[in-house]
Amino acid sequence: MLDKNDENSSEVEKTAKEQINDTTQEVVEKENVEEALEETKESEVTEGGNAEEAVNEIEKSVAEKAEKEDGNEEVEELDYSTKSLEELVSELSKVLAGNPVQKIKSQVDGIKNAFNQKFGALLAEKKEAFLAEGGNSIDFQFSSPIKSEYNKLLTDYKKQRDAYYSNLEKQLKENLEKRIKVIEDLKRLIEEADTSTMYKNFRELQDVWRSIGPVSKTRYNDTWKTYHHHVERFYDLLHLSNDFRDLDFKHNLEEKLKIIEKAKALANESDINYASNELQELHRAWKEDVGPVSKEMREEIWHKFSEATKKIHDNRHEHYKELRSKYQEIIDKKLEVIAVIDAYDTSKNKTHNDWQKSIKDIEELRQQYFNLGKLPYAKSEEIWKKFKAATKKFNASKNIFYKEEKGSQQDNLKRKIALIEIAESLKDSEDWETATNTLKKVQSDWKEIGHVPRKFSDDIWKRFKAACNHYFDRFHQQKNAVSKEQQEVVEAKKEFLEALKLQENPTKDIVIEAINKWKELGKLPRNARHVDGKFNKQIDRMLSTLDIDKDEISMLKFTNVVDLYLEDNDVRKLDSEQMFVRKKIDEVVREIQQLENNLGFFSNAKDDNPLVINVKNRVNEFKHDLSIWKQKLSYLKKLDY
């Protein structure tokens, strides 16, 4: 204990001198909560423990804190998982430029983890594409300017960090040597005992001691105890300046009583971390800023301070004991989620849609795992390994399926290329009946073939579409010779169209009757199809005046146009319309998925949050649109063409 000075002073000094040449212990950075939990676990000081154990633990913390001259408060770490590679590199550059190197470890680690994960995924994608094109795995190489910039920044960080800790080690050694010199000078002052100058010289040595910077945490307490031992020796041997001595003793007693009162008040502080930090500062002040008291008061005053220290220590111990219990609850719940992922059955997955559903299920479980809360690194490492093992098991099965799927996509590619060659061989044929039937069969077969590799999809579709369009354009051109009967249909429809323009205040029944009448008048020749367009505009005009549901109007317009295509047996336009509807369905589905994913980021927001309300309204609007597009697709599928 600090006030027990009966140990052999020369032995203490010898120990301090021997330690000067040792290598200063590396400064270890830990998260505050994890550090406190570990210390609490090591000490296991209960309410029934003694004050000396509590004081020893605080003294250890004071020594560690003294070593870190600038403190080790970390810059706040952000969520980097949603950032792109470019954004991560930019963020790393900002962190390095705007913060002391000793305070950014957690931020740099967070950026490193996010970058490595995203770049690893990119690398795997590039390698997969390289192998799909027939490349050999051993020949694969990939370089990226963003990776080079990232490596340069990381190298700069490591150089700055190493330079900082090298300089810190040097400074700690120099400060230790200075403190040892003060101790030697103080010892010499006592031995010489020059009453005319000793008190003045003693004050000067005290000022020098206080001006010296931090020393290694492993040397701090030893050097201080040695110094304090000789300070008390000085006061005990100071006979000719009793007035000065007594005045110092009185002042120091008053200051130490103030420190004790502050320590007692901290026992009622609800913020445990604040109380612990303040207690460390009080112990530092007790040691560094306030001198000794009279010999008869030393034991008593130290006992009071030790008891106040113990109360705060007990509070801290109980707090982290409860915290460990809370972490255990999180661990148990995370293990339950891991068990579900590990037991997830994929044996019945036979199609792409089956796997997409499973991927969605696993993603929901992953989010559930992360939403359970964070754990200190020491407690989370083992859990994280189990979590990665479980997800790796699922991903391995998924990768096997899609590897086999890619093999079938290559077969599909060969089959579609064969159909393209047939279509291209018939595109200039004059055997209209045979070629038409063959190309319709080719188009039907095309629809039945599954997916091809994405990088070939657009090219082969353009080739196939160009060949089919070329033929059917020629086919329809040769049918454009207008007969007398067809001309009568044109005139009748033009006359009906003029009458329709004069129609005022139409009803729904009048509109439907007009559509049916238009069909009854007959089929227009190809060179007069523009008349159908004019009719559609009139129908749109009449529908716009009706007081009926806009969805019903939309379907009436759609069915009117599609029925005209069917009447003309225009397979190309019908196919194009169906492709357009499917495309719109895909777009709406993606929009809904994106918005619902965005809602996940507002899981803690209240339901009346304007932003949340806006997103939910947009989701509902898109879902309504999706139902209309699905009705249109259903209508198209029922047509016989």
Interval 158-170: pLDDT, tens:
998 888 888 888 8
- 395-425 residue pLDDT tens: 888 878 777 777 777 888 889 999 999 999 9
Residue 366: partners with Cβ closer than 8 Å, 6 or more residues away = 341, 391
Q: How confident is the model at residue 386 (pLDDT cuts 50, 70, 90)?
A: confident
pLDDT, residue 83, reads 82
More confident residue, 585 or 561: 585
- 539-575: b (≥16 Cβ within 10 Å) or e: beebbeebeeeeeebbebebbbbbbbbbebebbbebb
| Whether the predicted pLDDT of 48 surpasses 50 | no
pLDDT in tens, 313-353: 888 887 777 777 777 888 888 889 888 988 888 888 888 78
Q: Residue 114, Cβ neighbours under 10 Å: how many?
A: 21
The mean per-residue pLDDT over the stretch 19-34 comes to 32
Task: Indicate the residue type of 184.
Answer: E
Q: What is the C-alpha to C-alpha distance for residues 409 and 454, in angstroms, rounded to an integer?
A: 9
Q: For residue 315, give the 3-state DSSP assignment.
A: helix
Residue environment code for 619-638, b if the CB has 16+ CB neighbours within 10 A, otherwise e: beebeebbebbebbbebbee
State whether residue 509 is helix, strand or coil. Answer: helix
**Average pLDDT over every residue of 459-481:** 85
Q: Is the pLDDT of residue 521 over 60?
A: yes
Read off the pLDDT of residues 349-385 as tens digits, 9 standing for 90 and up: 888 788 889 889 988 988 888 888 777 766 677 888 8
Q: What is the pLDDT of residues 472-482, one digit of tens each?
A: 888 887 766 55
With a pLDDT cut of 90, the percent of the chain lying above it is: 9
* Closest C-alpha among 245, 221, 218 to residue 231: 245
Binned at pLDDT 50, 70 and 90, residue 93 comes out as confident
Residue 73 has pLDDT above 60, yes or no: no
pLDDT reported for residue 36: 38
Lowest mean pLDDT among 126-135, 198-207, 494-503: 126-135
Averaging pLDDT over each range in 169-178, 238-247, 599-608, which range is the top one? Answer: 169-178
The per-residue pLDDT for 70 is 47
Instruction: For residue 579, name the pLDDT band (cuts at 50, 70, 90).
Output: very high
Note the pLDDT of residue 443. Answer: 92
pLDDT at 46: 36
Average pLDDT of every residue of the chain: 79
Is the distance from CB of 312 to CB of 268 less than 8 angstroms? no
> Cβ neighbours of residue 639 under 8 Å, at least 6 residues apart?
562, 566, 574
Q: What is the pLDDT of residue 536?
A: 85
**DSSP 3-state percent helix, strand, coil across the chain (nearest 5):** 80, 0, 20
SS (H, E, C) 536-596: HHHHHHHHHCCCCCHHHHHHHHHHHHHHHHHHCCCHHHHHHHHHHHHHHHHHHHHHHHHHH
Most confident of 56-60, 484-488, 612-616: 612-616
Q: For a pLDDT cut of 70, what percent of the chain falls above it?
A: 84
Q: Specify the higher pLDDT residue, 192 or 157.
A: 157
Lowest mean pLDDT among 244-248, 428-432, 442-446: 244-248
Question: What is the average per-residue pLDDT within 622-634?
Answer: 91
Q: At residue 243, does pLDDT exceed 80?
A: no
- Predicted TM-score (pTM) of the model is 0.36
Q: How confident is the model at residue 440 (pLDDT cuts 50, 70, 90)?
A: very high
